[in-house]
Amino acid sequence: MDTFPHTPLPRHGLPRDEVLKQLLAMKQGDQDWRGGRVFSLVYSAGDEVHELLQEALSLYSAENGLNVLAFPSIGIMQHDIVCNTATLLGADDPGSGGAVEGYLTSGGTESLLQAVKTARDVARHDRGIERPQVVAAESAHAAFTKAADYFDVELIRVPVGPDFRVDADALADACTDDTIMVVGSAPTYPHGVIDPITDIAALARERGILCHVDACMGGFLLPFLTELGRLDEPFDFRVEGVTSISADVHKYGYASKGVSVILYRTHELARKQLFMTTDWLGGFYASTAMAGTRPAGPIAAAWAALMHIGQDGYLELTRTAHDAALSLRAGIESIDGLTVRGDPPGTVMAFGARDPELLDIFAVGEKLSEDGWYLDRQNRPDSLHATVHAGSAATVPYLIDDLRRAVAHVGSARATSRDTTYGQSH
C-alpha cells in the first residue's frame, strides 16, 4: 500500500479541470506508446481506430455487462465478437464439428483460468479425478500456474527444446492417469514460436483428454498470416483433437483492454464454464465468466474495432506488422553478437547475446531504455522481448540503429539490475 505516494480522498471534491490536470500530470511518467517506441503491452492500429475506440468506450461507460436483459445491445455485441472469432479460428470448417461455442472474458489470463477450471470440472464430474493434472511446456503462459494455484490443479511443466518449442513426446511422457488436459501455444509469449499443435492434439485424442491452444497472442494474427500465404502451420479447430482455444481481441484485434474470447469445440464442454445459482434471496444468478459486473465499454470498443477494421483491414495491419517484424529480425541478426531465440514465424520475438560472457543483453536494454525504447526482459536465457504491431512498424529502422549503437556502447559492461518483472508486483 505504501509503494506509491498516497493522494487522500478530498473533503470537498476537486473541480473537473483540476482532476484532469492531475491525471495528465501523473501520466507524464508513463511510456509514450503513441510514438511507436513501446514493443509491449499496447497494440495500435493508428489514431483513427484509437479515436473510434474512445468514442465506443464513452458511449458504454456506465452500462453493466452482467445483464444483457437490461442492455440487449451488449448481448448482441458479445455474440458478434465470439462468432467472428470462432469463424477466424476454424469453427465453420466441416472438420470442427459445427458446435463451437464460447464467451467473452476480460483478457488472456481469465480465458486461461476458465480453460483450466473447465478442465478441472470435467475431470471431477465426468471421470472422478480428485486432483486433476494439466501438462504444459515451461514456455506456456504464467496464467496456467495462476490457474493451477486458484483451482487446486496440479500443473506439470516440461522443458522446451533448443528451438524453444515443446515436443509432444515430452508432454506424453509427463502425462499420467490423472492428466485431464495438455496445452500448446500459438505462439508462445516468450519467444513467439508455435508449438506443434497437430502433434499435441493427436496426443490428447489418443489419451482421450482435452487439448487447449493458447492463441491469445495469435488468434487475430495467425489466421491473417495464413491468408497472406506467410504461414502454413495448423493450430485451430481445423485440427482434430483441439478442444478449446483462447484468443485476445485486445492484442492483434487492436481493441481496447480488456477483451478476450474462450472457445470450446462442443456445447457440452462450453456449458461447463457457466455458473448458476439460486441459493440467495436475490433470485436466479448466472454468469459466463469470472466477473459478475463487467464494464461494457471494452465490449463496445472491441465490436467497433472488428466492424471498422474488417477482414481487409486486418490483412493490411498483419502485413504491416509482419513486414516490420521481418525487418527487425534481419536487423538484429546483422548485429555482431546478437541472435534471435528460436525461429518465430510471426511478429513476436526474443533476442539476446550469442555469448552472454561477452555481451550483457540487459545492459543493452538499459541503454535502449535511456534512449526511450521499451522492451520487456526475460531470462533462461537472458533476452529482450519485442512484440511488433502495426503502430510500431514505422519505428523499427530507428530501433535497429539504436540497438546497434547500444551494443557498441555497452561493450563488456554489465547491467545494474537483473530484474525481469512482468506484471504487477505491489
Q: Which residue has the higher pLDDT, 293 or 161?
A: 161
Which residue pairs from 336-339 have beta carbons closer than 8 angstroms and sit at least 24 positions apart in sequence?
A: 336/407, 337/407, 338/403, 338/407
- Asked whether residue 335 carries a pLDDT value surpassing 50, the answer given is yes
Lowest mean pLDDT, pick from 90-94, 153-157, 405-409: 90-94
Last residue of a domain, one of 247, 280, 305: 305
Lowest mean pLDDT, pick from 60-69, 367-376, 377-386: 60-69
Joined together, the cell numbers standing for residue 56 give 465506443
Task: Calculate the alpha carbon distances from 338 to 90, 251, 413 in Å.
Answer: 38, 27, 15
- Asked whether residue 422 carries a pLDDT value surpassing 60, the answer given is no
Q: Which class for 223: exposed (0-12), middle (13-18), buried (19 or more C-beta within 10 A)?
A: buried
Lowest mean pLDDT, pick from 177-181, 183-187, 255-259, 285-289: 285-289
- Asked whether residue 392 carries a pLDDT value surpassing 70, the answer given is yes
62 located within any domain: no
- For residues 236 and 358, membership in a common domain is answered with no
Place of cell 459445427: 98
- The answer to whether the beta carbons of residues 349 and 325 sit under 8 Å apart is yes
Place of cell 465470439: 82
Count other Cβ atoms within 10 Å, centred on residue 280.
8
Place of cell 473541480: 15
Render pLDDT for 201-218 as a digit per residue (tens, 0 to 9). 999 999 999 999 999 999
State the chain's mean pLDDT as an integer.
93
**From CA 105, how far away is CA 54, in angstroms rounded?**
20
- For residues 399 and 299, membership in a common domain is answered with no
- For residues 124 and 180, membership in a common domain is answered with yes
- Asked whether residue 426 carries a pLDDT value surpassing 70, the answer given is no
Mean pLDDT for the stretch of residues 249-272: 96
- For residues 300 and 203, membership in a common domain is answered with yes
- Asked whether residue 194 carries a pLDDT value surpassing 80, the answer given is yes
Task: Calculate the alpha carbon distances from 266 to 101, 140, 169, 269, 272 in Å.
Answer: 7, 24, 27, 5, 10
Specify the pLDDT at position 416.
83
Q: Is the peptide bond before 282 cis (omega within 30 degrees of 0)?
A: no
CATH at residue 338? 3.90.1150.10
- For residues 317 and 294, membership in a common domain is answered with no
- For residues 104 and 241, membership in a common domain is answered with yes
DSSP letter assigned to residue 374: B
- Beta-strand ranges (E) seen in 300-426 are 338-340, 348-353, 376-378, 383-387
- For residues 330 and 249, membership in a common domain is answered with no
- For residues 147 and 254, membership in a common domain is answered with yes
Domain span holding position 326: 310-410
Of the candidates 125, 108, 313, 116, the residue with the CA atom closest to the CA atom of residue 215: 108
Mean pLDDT for the stretch of residues 56-83: 92
Lowest mean pLDDT, pick from 116-130, 228-242, 295-309, 327-341: 116-130
Q: Which residues contact 74 (CB under 8 A, 6 or more apart)?
A: 60, 63, 65, 68, 296, 299, 300
Mean pLDDT for the stretch of residues 343-365: 95
12 located within any domain: no
45 located within any domain: no
- For residues 335 and 352, membership in a common domain is answered with yes
Specify the pLDDT at position 421.
64
Helix, strand, coil percent values for the chain (each to nearest 5): 40, 15, 45
pLDDT band of residue 1 (cuts 50, 70, 90) is very low
Total tally of structural domains belonging to the chain = 2
Q: Element (H or E) spanning 262, and its range? A: strand 260-264
380 located within any domain: yes
- The answer to whether the beta carbons of residues 369 and 403 sit under 8 Å apart is no
Joined together, the cell numbers standing for residue 423 give 506484471
Specify the pLDDT at position 298.
95
- Asked whether residue 424 carries a pLDDT value surpassing 60, the answer given is no
**From CA 71, how far away is CA 142, in angstroms rounded?**
35
Lowest mean pLDDT, pick from 113-117, 134-138, 337-341, 375-379: 375-379
**From CA 119, how far away is CA 124, in angstroms rounded?**
9
Last residue of a domain, one of 236, 270, 305: 305
- Asked whether residue 425 carries a pLDDT value surpassing 50, the answer given is no
- For residues 139 and 188, membership in a common domain is answered with yes
SS3 assignment, position 309: helix
User: How many degrees, rounded to 5, is the angle at CA 383 between CA 381 and CA 388?
Assistant: 140
Render pLDDT for 12-41 as a digit per residue (tens, 0 to 9). 999 999 999 999 998 888 778 888 788 888
- Asked whether residue 2 carries a pLDDT value surpassing 80, the answer given is no
Mean pLDDT for the stretch of residues 240-269: 96
Specify the pLDDT at position 31.
79
pTM reported for the whole predicted model: 0.93
- For residues 148 and 233, membership in a common domain is answered with yes
String of b and e for 343-382 (b: at least 16 CB within 10 Å)? ebbbbbbbbbbeeeeebbbbbbbbbbeebebbbbbbeeeb
Joined together, the cell numbers standing for residue 57 give 468506450
Q: Which class for 182: exposed (0-12), middle (13-18), buried (19 or more C-beta within 10 A)?
A: buried
Tell me the Cα Rg of the chain.
Answer: 22
Lowest mean pLDDT, pick from 153-167, 287-301, 393-407: 287-301
- The answer to whether the beta carbons of residues 221 and 254 sit under 8 Å apart is no
81 located within any domain: yes
98 located within any domain: yes
- For residues 81 and 104, membership in a common domain is answered with yes
Q: Which residues contact 129 (CB under 8 A, 6 or more apart)?
A: 123, 178, 180
**From CA 203, how far away is CA 182, in angstroms rounded?**
8
283 located within any domain: yes
Last residue of a domain, one of 273, 305, 337: 305
25 located within any domain: no
**From CA 352, how far away is CA 359, in angstroms rounded?**
9
- The answer to whether the beta carbons of residues 133 and 318 sit under 8 Å apart is no
